[in-house]
Structure 1
Amino acid sequence: MELHLQSHHWQARWPDWAAAAVAGFGAGGVLMLLELSWSSLTGATDPWLATHVIAALVMSWDVLQTSGYSLGVTVAALLVHYVLGVVFGIMLAAIMAPFRLDSSIPMALVAGAAFGLLLYVLNFYGMAGVYTWFVALRGWPTAIAHVIFGMAAAFIYLKLERPDRPR
């Protein structure tokens, strides 16, 4: 008799899309708080630098010539940040569900950490070819924050998903 408990091979299984979207939104909030806290605590950079870098995706790179707080820049950055958080949360759930990476908290956290690290590499090394201003945020603090984003998204998704939901 073969026993395949918690097998992590691919199987046709849909994620809970609503839980994935909320998880990405919540993890985006965690990431934003980490970025602001880190830059405020270390004093190494302008605490609004990340806000300007994110807003530049939709406002043009001219926004990088300014510094400090700006309501328009902050609103644009929040919109981009949370939309991307939701998209990335959905992507993570689309990977976790069919491979049953949501079978336990440790498995989900490892999957989320790997996803967050992959996001960091793609964003700050891959996309930096197009969005050259991303280079300013490269480093361990940003990499660790993205790992925490992935872990938070995976954990929130695991806690919110409804395995018995209607399709």
Structure 2
Amino acid sequence: MTQSIGTFPAGVRSIAWRSAVAAGLIGGVAYLLMQALWTPLRTGENLWTWVHTSGAIVLGSGALQARDTFDLPVLIVALLVHFALALAYGAVLAVLLTRGDTAALRWRLAPTTAAGALFGLALYALNYYVFTLWFPWFAELRHGVTIFNNVVFGAATAFAYAQLVRARGASARR
């Protein structure tokens, strides 16, 4: 019988990077769905507003000119930016969940998901307050729905990571 080592489930001895990548993608899809479906319903914002503001990170402020229209190159760039950030944030969250004082979580889903939700809240502050120093157009997206969407991202990413790590630990014990 394999015993747990430190904060990791049995069979898991380090950060599960593949699980972190998959969890980041899952969280990224959850956020994207919330942005596409929930935000227009709750705020009246056009679906393409977020696409243009995200694409403008790489393309510059010119991408902000026609926010209410579909623009394939802007959409592609926005998705690349979004998923690059989702992967990076998923990796950071994986490190936080498997190191230090989070040992108390012991991979129980409720506290792990709650920690992810708090991480999403911190990302909201980072993305919509700190990053506005370089990308001031994100300030207009500061509202409750964006906060909620970021919390969903963090919670979904943490939940997915915990489940994937559990599955990895279970398969290592077989």
TM-score (norm: length of structure 2)? 0.83
- The residue identity in structure 1 corresponding to 2:16 is D
Residues 56 and 62 in structure 2, CA contact (< 8 A), matched pair in contact too? yes
What does residue 169 of structure 2 align with?
163
Number of residue pairs the alignment of both structures matches: 156
Unaligned runs of 5+ residues in structure 1 are none
Distance 1:160-1:41 versus aligned 2 partners, 3 A rule: same
Residues 28 and 85 in structure 1, CA contact (< 8 A), matched pair in contact too? yes
CA shift, 1:131, in A, is 0.8
In 1, distance between residues paired with 2:150 and 2:40?
18
In 1, distance between residues paired with 2:122 and 2:42?
25
Q: Please state if 1:31 is matched with 2:31.
A: yes
In 2, distance between residues paired with 1:163 and 1:125?
38
Residues 24 and 86 in structure 1, CA contact (< 8 A), matched pair in contact too? yes
Percent identity between the aligned chains? 33
Unaligned runs of 5+ residues in structure 2 are 8-12
CA shift, 1:102, in A, is 5.2
Distance 1:119-1:102 versus aligned 2 partners, 3 A rule: farther
What does residue 64 of structure 1 align with?
64
- Of stretches 92-101 and 134-143 in structure 1, the one that deviates more from structure 2 is 92-101
Residues 39 and 145 in structure 2, CA contact (< 8 A), matched pair in contact too? no
Distance 1:25-1:54 versus aligned 2 partners, 3 A rule: same
- The residue identity in structure 2 corresponding to 1:76 is V
> For residues 17-69 of structure 1, what are the alpha-carbon distances to aligned partners after superposition, in whole Å with 9 as ceiling and x for unaligned?
10011100111011011011123324611111011111011111110011211
* Greater fraction of residues in helix: 2
- The residue identity in structure 2 corresponding to 1:113 is A
TM-score (norm: length of structure 1)? 0.87
Distance 1:70-1:122 versus aligned 2 partners, 3 A rule: same
In 1, distance between residues paired with 2:106 and 2:89?
16
Q: Please state if 1:18 is matched with 2:18.
A: yes
Q: What do you get for the CA RMSD once the two structures are aligned?
A: 1.9
Residues 39 and 146 in structure 2, CA contact (< 8 A), matched pair in contact too? no
User: Residues 1-167 of structure 1: matches in 2 within 5 Å?
Assistant: 14-42=14-42, 44-67=44-67, 68-98=69-99, 99-100=102-103, 101=105, 103-161=107-165, 162-163=168-169
